[in-house]
Amino acid sequence: MIRTFIAIDLDDKETKEKIISFSNRLITHQPRMKQVESKNLHMTVKFLGDIHESTAPKIYEILKEEINKELFQGKEFQFQLKGAGQFNRYSVIWIKLVGETEILQKAKDKVENLLYTKLKIAKDKRTKFKPHLTIGRLRFNKVDQSNFEKFKKVINDNKDFDFGVFNVSQIKLKKSVLTPKGPIYYNYKDDGEFES
């Protein structure tokens, strides 16, 4: 079994630098926040969890043919990453993706429907896609209360900050290997292997 998810990678170097600079500022107030590394920044379309390795090429073909070729048709769609926020009482820190996001909702719906009809992979309970980029996680039991207000203020002060562009041209199947130092992600390739 392999732990997998479907996602869109953030490739823009300047945007990555702005995000890492921002999350580094957050870490100064909450040193135990787990920062998403620059190379791992992505927008999750669907978390699959553990799947049989034999299912990976089937999912990959669906994404390649039905989403990347048929829906995206070789085009690149440009969005902005604008405004920091949080989920679950600051356990997840994120940046919102803004723009004409209808194409992303279509991609999400198509992924859900195709995986269910062709592979019997359960659909997500939430049908509305809220595109965002997770940049850090902070467990409740690891919060430094002495600096928590400063930490919250940094997020609030950047609720409208423009972090840069996010270009979308393809959706990828990714494998996640959990390690003590954080997850390592691998992309599924045409040759039938996951590569970093």
Architecture of the domain spanning 2-181: Alpha-Beta Complex (3.90)
In tens digits, the chain (196 residues) has pLDDT values of: 999 999 999 999 999 999 999 999 999 999 999 999 999 999 999 999 999 999 999 999 999 999 999 999 999 999 999 999 999 889 999 999 999 999 999 999 999 999 999 999 999 998 899 999 999 999 999 999 999 999 999 999 999 999 999 999 999 999 999 888 888 999 999 888 898 7
Would you give the distance in Å from CA 145 to the centre of its chain? 28
What is the secondary structure of 20-78 as a DSSP string? Answer: HHHHHHHHHH-TT-EEPPGGG-EEEEEEEEEE-GGGHHHHHHHIIIIIIITTSTT--EE
- Residue 193's pLDDT is 86
- Residue 196's pLDDT is 78
The DSSP symbol for 145 reads G
| First-residue to last-residue Cα distance in the chain | 18
- Residue 67's pLDDT is 96
- Residue 154's pLDDT is 97
Active-site position among 29, 46, 82, 132? 132
User: Is the torsion defined by CA of 108, 98, 70, 192 positive or negative?
Assistant: negative
The DSSP symbol for 192 reads S
- Residue 92's pLDDT is 96
- Residue 47's pLDDT is 96
CA nearest to 96, candidates 47, 135, 143, 67: 135
- Residue 127's pLDDT is 87
Active site residue 52: no
Q: At which residue do the structure tokens 């089937």 appear?
A: 58
Active-site position among 42, 108, 137, 174? 42
